[in-house]
Structure 1
Amino acid sequence: MATDGATPIELSSLVAGDDRPGPARTMLVNPARPSEVVNTVALADAAVAEAAIDAAHRAAAAWRATSAPARGEVLRLAAQKLDESVETIARDLTREEGKTLAESARETQSAAKLFRYFAAQTLDAQGETYPSHFPDLLLYTRREPLGVVSVITPWNFPIQLPSWKIAAALAFGNTVVWKPAENVPRTTLHIASALVDAGLPDGVLNIVLGRGSQIGDILVTDPRVAAVTFTGSTPVGRTIQQRAVAAGKKVQLELGGKNPAIVLADADLERAAREISVAAFGATGQKCTATSRVLVERPVFDELVERLEAEAASWVLGDPLDANTTMGPVATAGQLDTVLGYLERARVEGARAVAGGSRADGALADGYFVAPTVLVDVERSHAVVREEIFGPVAAVLPVDSFADAVAEANNTPFGLSAGIFTADLSRALQFVEQSQAGIVRVNRSTSGVEYHVPFGGMKDSGYGQREQGKAAQDFFTESKTVYLAGP
C-alpha cells in the first residue's frame, strides 16, 4: 500500500489484509491541474463488497475478545505512524482533494490525535454499577461491541472524518467495512497502512473503493452488518436511513448544513469578519460547518460587507502545493459545476457579488478554482440562502433585530452549526437557548470542532447518536444489564 506519492499507480480495495481489485477502472486527476492523472482505481463491485463484509464478520470474534487496552495500543501506534508520515500524507491529500498543503497537514495531525484519544478511551470504564434492593445482588451494566460496522465517508475531510468513526469503532471492539469517497483512495490507504503497521489483524478493517450506486446497498442491508455510520449529503443519507432501518440496523447520519452567523450591532466587526471569512472560505468552503449565511443588523451591515470584501480579497488562490496559497480548488469537476451553477442562479435572481462570483481565470483557468465570493442583494427565498452549496460562497443579508436574526437563523431545514457575534452576554445566552443547531458558537466561526466533545446536528443535519468524544461509545456499543447473585 505504500507509495512515493508522485507516480500514478493503480489502487484497489483492501479485504482481509490483501489487495482486492474490482473489474472496472477509473482515472482520478489533480483538481488544481486536471490534465495530471493522480491515480487509477480498480473499482469494487458487489463481489468485493460482499467479500469485505465476510472478512469483517470472520474477524469479529477474535477482535471482540482482544482486551480493550490491547486494542488501544494498536490505535496508539497507528497515531504514531500517522504523525511520522504527515508530510507524505498531506501531499497525497492535497493532490487528490485540492485543499492547501497546510490544511492537509493539520487534518492529518488531527487524525492522529483522534486515534490517540480513542486509544485512551479503551482504558475508561465500559459500564456502571448500581445499588440493588437485594443485599446478595451485584447489579451492573457492561458495554459490548456491535459487530460489523459499515463506515461510509465523503471526500471533503478524507482522513480526519473517517478517523473519528474508525478509531471509535475499533476501540470499542467492532470490525469495519469502510467505503470512502472514490476520489480520495490514496489518502484512504494511508489510514489502512498506519493500522496494519501498528499490528491490526487482517480483516478487522476492510476498505472497498467503489461507487455508492454499485455497492452502497450491500453495505447497508447485508444481514451480517450490525450498524451503519454515514457522513454526506442529506438526500443520500435519508435513503441510507430508510434502507438500513428497514433492515434492522443501528444508524448514525451526519448530513448537510446551511449554517448562519449572526452579527449584532455591538459586535467586534473586525473579529466577526475574520472569523466568518475563515468559516466561509477555509477548505474552499467544502465543509458541512461552513458559514454560508451571514445575518447582519442593519446599522452595521455596510461596514461588515466592506470588511468581508477585504477579507475575501486577502485569500491567495492558487496551486495548493505552494506554501503561499491559502485557498485551493474545489475537489471535482462536478463540484465546480455545482458552485458555478449556484452563482449564475444568484445573478439571475438579482444578487450582486462584491467579491468573487466567478471561476478563476488566467493561470488558474484550467483548474477547478472559484474565487472567494461574497454576495449581497440576496433575498431570503433565494437558492444561495436556502440550499447547501459546498463552495467558497457567503450570502450576506440584513436583519432588523436580534429576534429577526434568530428567526431567520432557524428558518432552514438544516441544524448543524450556528454562530453569533455580540458583546452582550445575555443575547449570546439567549441565542444558545433558542438556536436550532447541534453546535452553537459565540464570537467564533461556525466551523472547527474539538475531538473530545460530541458532534452532530438537528433536523435535516443528522440522525441518531452523536459522534466523537465519549458520545461515540453510545453508538458503537450496546449496553447489557447484569443481575448477579451468588449460588
Structure 2
Amino acid sequence: MSDMTMTAAVEAALPKAPFEGRHLIDGIWRGSDNGESFDRTSPSHGILVSRSARAGRAETEAAIGAARKAFDDGRWSRISGKERATLLLKVADLIEANVERMALLETLESGKPISQARGEISGAADLWRYAASLARTMHGDSHNSLGEDMLAMVLKEPIGVVSIITPWNFPFWILSQKLPFALAAGCTCVIKPSEMTPSTTVILGELLLQAGLPVGVVNIVLGFGQPVGALMAEHPDVDMVSFTGSTAVGKAIAAAASVTLKKVALELGGKNPQVVFPDADLESAADAITFGVYFNAGECCNSGSRIIVHEDIADTLVEKVVALSKKVAFGDPLNPETQVGAIISQAHQEKIAGYVKDALAAGARVKLGGAPVSHPGLPGRFFAPTVVTGVTADMAIAREEVFGPVLSVLTFRTLEEAIALTNDAAYGLSAGVWSENVHTCLAFARRAEAGTVWTNTWMDGFPEVAFGGYKQSGQGRENGHYGLEEFLEIKSVVMRVGRTRSNWVRA
C-alpha cells in the first residue's frame, strides 16, 4: 500500500434496484421468449447492477429481420442526408442530458472511474454531431472526360444491414464510433453490447426512440457470443459486421462472416510502444507514459503497455515513471478523485498477474507493484500500478496484450533497433515517439507499422481523425470520413448520351 495512492470509498447513492435491460426489436421493448436473463455484479462494489434479458436465436433472428425490412423499404436508407443529420443531432443533445444516469451505470458495471465515464459519455455526443455533418456532405464523383457521348457517375450507397458488436471496456464510446456513422450512411443496425456492460446501450435505445428514429432502424439484442454474436456474424440477411474486441474473437467473426462474404470491420488488440529518444522532454514523456498505461486500468486497446527507451536514459526515465505511478489515484470508482478503478473480473485479474509472474520467471524485474491489491473500504478487485524492467522482446509480457495496469520496459541503442522492436509484434494499432528532433519523429512515423503514430503526446483523438490498426490489430477504420465510408458501397453508373453507339451485330 505504501507504493501506491489509494482513494477512499465514498458515500454514494447506489441504485436501490438493478437496472432492467430488455431487447429493442422493431421498436418494441421485449424480454426473451424463454424468460431467461443474466446478471451483472459490480467489480468494484459487489452489488447487483443490472439484470438483462438473455437473447437466444429467436430474438436475434427477429432483430435481424426487423433491420432488414427497415432497410429494404427505405424508411431510413432513402431519406435525405438532412433528415438523417437532424435526428443524429437530436440524439447528441439527449446524450448530454443523460450523462449522469449513464455514467453511474457504466462505472458500476465496468469498474472505471466516474469522472472518466462522464467524460466518455459526454464526449461521445461530439461523435454523433460529427457524423451528422458527414450525413449532409456525403457525395460521389462524376467523370465528364470520357468523350462527348459518355458520362459516368460513382454513387455511394449504404451497405445495408450492419451487425455491431461492442466490448466491455468502453461500451458507450466505442458504440458511438460505429452507430452514428452507420446511421449517417443510411444503414440499419443490430447491436449486441458486451454481456458485462449492456446497460448504457439499452439507454441509448431509449434516446433513439425519443429522438424519433423510425422503428426497426436500430435493434438491440442482449446476450452472449453464442448464439447471439455468432448468428449476427453469419446470418445471410446481414451485409456487414463491425466488431471491437479481442483478436481471437475477431478472427472467429471473420471466419463466420466469410460464409456469405459479407464485409467485416475489425478493431482488435494492440501492444502499443512509446519510443523515447535521449533528446526527449523526459518530464512530459514520463507523464504521458504513466497516463498511457494506467488509463482505464490498462484495459484499453490503445494502452501504452510497453516503452522502448534509449539505454542512456532508461534508468532516469524509469525512476520518473515509478515516482509518478506511486501518485496515481487508484480506488473507489465513485470517488471523483479516482484515476484508476477496479479490474473487470476475477479471471481477468488472474490473467494480468500471470503475465507478471511469467516475466519474473523469464528474468525480468518488478520495479513497482506486480500483484492484486485489496481496498480497505470495498470488496472489489484492484491491481497495483506495475512497472516491469529487464524485459526482452521474446517475453510474452512484451508481445501479448496484458490489458491491465502493467508497463514493460525495453531498451534500444539506435533508431534502426527502435523501429525493429516497434514492428516486432503481431499488432499494429498505435505507437508513439518522443524526441525534440522533428527528423527523428518523422523517420519513425513513416516506418512504424501502426494505424496511429503520436509524436510527443499520447492518445489524443478527434472525431475527424481516422482510427484503426495494421496487421492483427484489425481492418477498416473508424472516425473521420473514412469511418463513414466503411458503411458505404460504391456503384458506378455509365451512361451513353444520345444514340451514338455502333451496332455490334451487323445487318
TM range (shorter): over 0.9
Q: How far 1:37 moved relative to its partner?
A: 0.7
Partner of 1:326: 339
Distance 1:299 1:132 in 2: 60
SS in 2 for 1:151: strand
Distance 1:328 1:187 in 2: 18
Q: How does 1:32-431 map to 2 (within 5 A)?
A: 32-34=44-46, 36-60=47-71, 61=73, 62-363=75-376, 366-431=379-444
SS in 2 for 1:361: strand
Partner of 1:21: 31
Q: How far 1:233 moved relative to its partner?
A: 0.6
Aligned length: 481
Query: After the TM superposition, which parts of structure 1 deviate over 6 Å for at least 4 consecutive aligned residues?
Result: none
Distance 2:84 2:444 in 1: 42
Distance 2:220 2:118 in 1: 23
Aligned residue identity for 2:354? G
Write the deviation string for residues 382-409 of structure 1: whole angstroms up to 9, x where unpaired.
1111110111111011212222111111
Which residue, 450, 457, 470 being the options, matches 2:462?
Answer: 450
Distance 2:383 2:350 in 1: 10
Write the deviation string for residues 23-44 of structure 1: whole angstroms up to 9, x where unpaired.
332221111122x110112211
Q: How far 1:345 moved relative to its partner?
A: 2.0
Q: How far 1:362 moved relative to its partner?
A: 4.5
Distance 2:355 2:104 in 1: 30
Q: How far 1:449 moved relative to its partner?
A: 2.1
Distance 1:364 1:213 in 2: 37
Distance 1:136 1:398 in 2: 64
Distance 2:88 2:263 in 1: 24
Tell whether the 8 Å contact from 1:283 to 1:327 is kept in structure 2 after alignment. Answer: yes
Distance 1:149 1:188 in 2: 16
Tell whether the 8 Å contact from 1:5 to 1:91 is kept in structure 2 after alignment. Answer: no
Tell whether the 8 Å contact from 1:279 to 1:290 is kept in structure 2 after alignment. Answer: yes
- Give the structure-1-normalised TM-score: 0.96
Unaligned runs of 5+ in 1: none
Partner of 1:30: 42
Aligned residue identity for 1:48? E
Q: How far 1:248 moved relative to its partner?
A: 1.5
SS in 1 for 2:258: helix
Partner of 1:483: 494
User: Which stretch shows the higher mean deviation, 274-283 or 127-136?
Assistant: 127-136
Q: How far 1:5 moved relative to its partner?
A: 5.5
Q: How far 1:6 moved relative to its partner?
A: 5.1
Distance 2:30 2:345 in 1: 26
Distance 2:277 2:114 in 1: 35
Matched, 1:461 2:476: no
- Give the structure-2-normalised TM-score: 0.92
Q: How far 1:334 moved relative to its partner?
A: 2.4
Distance 1:13 1:6 in 2: 22
User: Which stretch shows the higher mean deviation, 333-342 or 255-264?
Assistant: 333-342
SS in 2 for 1:183: coil
Tell whether the 8 Å contact from 2:184 to 2:484 is kept in structure 1 after alignment. Answer: no
Write the deviation string for residues 258-283 of structure 1: whole angstroms up to 9, x where unpaired.
00111111111111000011111011
Q: How far 1:251 moved relative to its partner?
A: 0.9
User: Which stretch shows the higher mean deviation, 447-456 or 47-56?
Assistant: 447-456
Tell whether the 8 Å contact from 1:79 to 1:194 is kept in structure 2 after alignment. Answer: no
Instruction: Say if 1:390 and 1:448 are closer, same or farther in 2 by CA, change over 3 A.
Output: farther
Instruction: Say if 1:334 and 1:14 are closer, same or farther in 2 by CA, change over 3 A.
Output: farther
Instruction: Say if 1:410 and 1:355 are closer, same or farther in 2 by CA, change over 3 A.
Output: same
